[in-house]
Amino acid sequence: MKIDQVSDSVHVVAGTNVNWALISDDSGITVIDAGYPADAADVLGSVRQIGGRLADVRAVLITHAHLDHIGAIPALIEQFGMPARTHRAADRHRHRRRRPAGVAPRRSLARRRPPRSVAVR
């Protein structure tokens, strides 16, 4: 695992086959994506290596629901109670719920409201 500090508050972590990011501020640390299932220990180790504690992690933010981004989430939730957040479209993908073929989105992209996040369970 290799950690690069790209700004005062952002670290990019290169795992074995995937990357994730750690964003820190006065309120704690947000983990962006969580790698494969086997990456849970490295995700936790990366928090410690930047001087954080597990209690400092406020949430894991999932950019999209591919295995290389969500694999360690079950361990992080079950073992450490870390909250995981994602956009509701990614949550539908995680549950394999998709819009039926031929059904258009309800709004045009030009008038779309900012996305809301959902808690991952």
Give Rg (Cα) of the chain. 16
Residue type, 18: V
Interatomic CA distance for residues 43 and 61, integer angstroms: 13
Is 2 a residue whose pLDDT tops 60?
yes
Is 110 a residue whose pLDDT tops 50?
no
Residue type, 13: V
Interval 10-32: pLDDT, tens = 999 998 899 999 999 999 999 99
